[in-house]
Chains A and B, each alone.
Chain A
Amino acid sequence: MYPDDRRYTKEHEWVKVEGDRARVGITDYAQNQLGDVVYLELPEVGRVLKAGETFGTVESVKAVSELYAPLAGEVAEVNSELVSSPEAINTDPHGKGWMVVIRPSDPAAAGALLDAAGYSSLVESGAKQA
Chain B
Amino acid sequence: MDVAPGTLRRTPLSPVHRELGAKMVPFAGWEMPIEYSGLISEHLAVRKAAGLFDVSHMGEIEVEGPGALAFLQRVTCNNVARLLDGQAQYSALPLPNGAPADDLIVYRRSAERFLLIANAGNAEKDYKWLLSQERGETELKNRSDEYALLALQGPRAQAILQPLTRVDLAAVKYYHFAEGDLDGQPATISRTGYTGEDGFEILVAPDHAPAAWKRLLEAGGPQGLVPAGLGARDTLRLEARMCLYGMDMDETTTLIEAGLGWIVALDPAKGDFPGRAVLESQKKGGPPRKLVGFEVVGRGIARHGYTVLANHQPVGAVTSGTYAPFLQKNIGLCYVPAAHAAVGTDLEIDVRGRPVSARVVPTPFYKRAQ
Which A positions have Cβ atoms within 8 angstroms of B? 35-36, 38-39, 41, 57, 59-62, 64, 90
Contacts and interface: CB of A to CB of B under 8 A. Distances in A.
14 contacts: A35-B23, A35-B35, A36-B325, A39-B301, A39-B323, A41-B299, A61-B235, A61-B322, A61-B323, A62-B39, A62-B231, A64-B301, A64-B303, A90-B38
Contact of B325 (A39, A61, A64): A61
Given A61-B322, A64-B303, 4 more contacts: A36-B40, A39-B301, A61-B235, A64-B301
- How many residues of B sit at the interface, in one of the four size bands? 10 to 19
B38 to A, nearest CB: 5
Interface in B277-333: 299-301, 303, 322-323, 325
A39 to B, nearest CB: 6
Contacts of A61: 39-40, 231, 235, 322-323, 325
Contacts of A57: 352
Given A62-B231, A64-B303, A38 B323 contact: yes
A49 to B, nearest CB: 18
> 3 nearest interchain CB pairs?
A38-B323, A36-B40, A61-B39
A57 B323 CA distance: 15
B34 interface: yes
A64 B300 CA distance: 11
B40 A59 contact: no
B39 A36 contact: yes
B256 to A, nearest CB: 30
Contacts of B35: 35
Nearest to A57: B352
Contacts of A41: 299
Contacts of A60: 39
Contacts, number: 37
B39 A35 contact: yes
A30 to B, nearest CB: 14
A36 B38 contact: yes
A38 B231 contact: no
Nearest to A32: B23
A57 B23 CA distance: 23
Nearest to B23: A35
A83 B37 CA distance: 23
A35 B34 CA distance: 10
B40 to A, nearest CB: 4
A35 B38 contact: yes
A64 B299 CA distance: 14
A36 B229 CA distance: 13
B195 to A, nearest CB: 15
A6 to B, nearest CB: 26
Contacts of B325: 36, 61
Interface string B12-40: 00000000000100000000001100111
Nearest to A38: B323
A39 B38 contact: no
A59 B352 CA distance: 13
A60 B234 CA distance: 14
Contacts of B23: 35
B34 A62 contact: yes
Of the candidates A38, A41, A64, the one having the most CB atoms from chain B within 10 angstroms of its own CB is A38
A35 B231 contact: yes
Contacts of B322: 61-62
A39 B321 CA distance: 14
A57 B301 CA distance: 11
Contacts of A90: 38
A39 B39 contact: no
Nearest to B328: A38
Nearest to B42: A36
A39 B300 CA distance: 7
A40 to B, nearest CB: 10
Contacts of B301: 38-39, 59, 64
A41 B325 CA distance: 19
B70 to A, nearest CB: 43
Nearest to B35: A35
